[in-house]
Amino acid sequence: MEGSARTRPLAQRGGDGLLAEIDRALKGRDIEALSRIYAEDAVIEEMSSRNPPAHPSVTSGRHAIMERLKNDLFHDPVSGWARQLDSTEILDGIETDDGLAFMEVRVYAAGDRVVAQHLARKKNGLIVHDRIAVVWDAE
């Protein structure tokens, strides 16, 4: 299925902006580049089976976000063991001057998948608040 320009993988759409930067950073496994899309005082709020809506995981500040990204991308969300990231893809991305929304799909060498749905607010071209719903394959 071809899909519209909005739903095709980012690599097929071209473009610039934060979505393209996120895509490049994820594919290059460049955590520092990924953390630079966040404002110094940015907040990530994550909901998942480990962090339900009543008690989301909250990370504040670019440095703390960078450390969190290092752990989230290269470690199992349940057991914490290190794992090899095989591929990443951004789907269903949309970006405006004030925000962006996208689905991030990660596939690991063992075949398991993690899907993260992001809804983020921007200020001065950087993310200031990123609300994420995360699901992963069961063991």
**For 97-124, how does the pLDDT look when each residue is reduced to its tens digit (9 = 90+)?**
999 999 999 888 778 888 999 999 999 9
The span from the CA of 114 to the CA of 116, in Å, is 7
pLDDT at 7: 41
pLDDT at 79: 57
Contacts of 2 (CB under 8 A, 6+ apart): 8
Task: For residue 42, give the nearest of 10, 68, 77 by alpha carbon.
Answer: 68
39-64 per-position pLDDT tens digit: 999 999 999 988 999 999 999 999 99
